[in-house]
Amino acid sequence: MKTKRKKQLRIAVLVQHDLIPPDTLEGLGEAETVRIKTEFDVVSTLKAAGHDVRPVGIYDDLNAINKAIEEHRPHVAFNLIEEFDSYPLFDQHVVSFLELKRQKYTGCNPRGLTLSRDKALTKKILAYHRIHVPEFAVFARNRKVYRPKRLKFPLLVKSLTAEGSAGIAQSSIVRDDEKLVERVEFIHRQTNSPAIAEQYIEGREIYLGLLGNHRVQTYTPWELLMEKLPEGAANIATSKVKWSPKYQEKVGLVTRAAELTPEQKRQLEHLSRRIYRLLMLSGYARLDYRMTDDGKFYLLEANPNPNIAHKDDFADSAEASGIPYPQLLQKLMTLGMSYDPIQ
């Protein structure tokens, strides 16, 4: 009996201009390997599956995409763009351009990106629908920092728009107005963006990966743990926790399937599907929660198009649900090719 061969696809992989992956990671330093791993994993896995893959570097000019569409005629654009012209919120416009060109693409649609990239807007929408989110306030650049009385300490201060835990450290948690002002001004300088200060929620750090357009599938709930965290330090995903392998080893970072009761798991999955639809997400996303001791789930952030490097949280969660990495990438492309922005 003959086995059915998978159709070879023409794929344009959209990456930041300085993240076009090499053919091999051999000889690269640790920092460079971490920086480029997602792009390398996606491109090398798709090539190994027999597809015709063309990485396309993007900075501040859409002509590179237009040229790739005209010359390569891709069946799908695999979107790994997180910013345009160094500004995170502009990635939604890149996706809008793909839709105007009638080009199929992986990941989230422009509306879902718009609603989710703005952490304050996300919280306003979900609070309206009576979903638990931390109390918060936004502090614009070049404005005096004034804390509303309703906003109680301790607070976690971070960028309103930057991704990847940019600017987040143990000192991001502040307990008085003087430290609040200092940290807000630091975020303004460090990330060149407005700052958001939100109620710090004690509890477990739980992630849930979701995938789908109209029908939404959830993967195994995942938990971030730091088993060697110094006494008094907060259990937060700082920039070092996310990007420094040496620091990860120092604090005993472990990510694994979350131990939840059947009822907690059902509650989390139902809540996550509801949030996914309220924020008009599509493709795939990761929702980041704090689970308190009394079992309440607080949505901290919604992350459309999260990191999908091999052996990262989203891919590990999918694999724990029976979806190996090559199959995960194939599912993302199938969803992208079936998505219709007009419906």
> Among 342, 218, 200, which Cα is nearest to 274's?
218
pLDDT of residue 343: 72
Which pTM was predicted?
A: 0.93
Confidence grade of residue 5 (pLDDT, cut at 50, 70, 90): low
CA pair distance 289, 297, nearest whole angstrom: 6
Domain boundary among 199, 228, 245: 199
144-176 tens-digit pLDDT: 999 999 999 999 999 998 876 778 889 999 999
Q: Tell me, yes or no, whether 195 and 148 share the same domain.
A: yes
Pairing of strands 204-212, 195-199: unpaired
Two structure tokens written together for 27: 């000889």
On whether the CB atoms of residues 128 and 144 are closer than 8 A, the answer is: no
Confidence grade of residue 3 (pLDDT, cut at 50, 70, 90): very low
Asked whether residue 52 is domain-assigned, the answer is yes
CA pair distance 43, 302, nearest whole angstrom: 26
- For residues 15-26, average pLDDT: 95
Angle at 287 between CA 132 and CA 104, to 5 degrees: 135
Asked whether residue 100 is domain-assigned, the answer is yes
80-94 tens-digit pLDDT: 999 999 888 899 999
Q: Tell me, yes or no, whether 83 and 208 share the same domain.
A: no
| Model confidence at 1: pLDDT above 70 | no
Q: Tell me, yes or no, whether 142 and 55 share the same domain.
A: no
- For residues 114-119, average pLDDT: 92
Q: Tell me, yes or no, whether 262 and 304 share the same domain.
A: yes
CA pair distance 235, 238, nearest whole angstrom: 9
Task: Determine the distance from the C-alpha atom of residue 50 to the mean position of all C-alpha atoms in its chain, rounded to a whole number.
Answer: 28
**CB-based contacts of 124: which residues, under 8 Å, 6+ apart?**
none
231-277 tens-digit pLDDT: 888 888 888 887 788 888 888 989 999 999 999 999 999 999 999 99
Strand, coil or helix: 234:
coil
Q: Tell me, yes or no, whether 295 and 244 share the same domain.
A: yes
Biggest distance spanned by C-alpha atoms of the chain: 73
Give the number of domains in the chain. 3
pLDDT of residue 303: 95
Scanning the chain, the segments in alpha helix (DSSP H) are 30-48, 63-72, 91-100, 110-117, 119-128, 177-191, 239-243, 245-251, 262-278, 313-320, 325-338
Tell me 244's DSSP state: -
CA pair distance 108, 95, nearest whole angstrom: 8
226-240 tens-digit pLDDT: 988 888 888 888 888
Pairing of strands 52-58, 10-16: parallel
Asked whether residue 50 is domain-assigned, the answer is yes
Q: What is the overall mean pLDDT for the chain?
A: 93
pLDDT of residue 6: 66
Asked whether residue 227 is domain-assigned, the answer is yes
Residue 22 domain boundaries: 10-105
Number of Cβ atoms within 10 Å of the Cβ of 60: 11
**CATH classification at residue 178:** 3.30.1490
Burial of 48 per CB tally in 10 Å (0-12, 13-18, 19+): exposed
Residue at 121: amino acid letter: L
pLDDT of residue 55: 97
Angle at 166 between CA 31 and CA 114, to 5 degrees: 120
- For residues 306-326, average pLDDT: 97
Q: Tell me, yes or no, whether 258 and 233 share the same domain.
A: yes
174-232 tens-digit pLDDT: 999 999 999 999 999 998 899 999 999 999 999 999 999 989 999 999 999 998 888 88
- For residues 63-88, average pLDDT: 95
Q: Tell me, yes or no, whether 175 and 296 share the same domain.
A: no
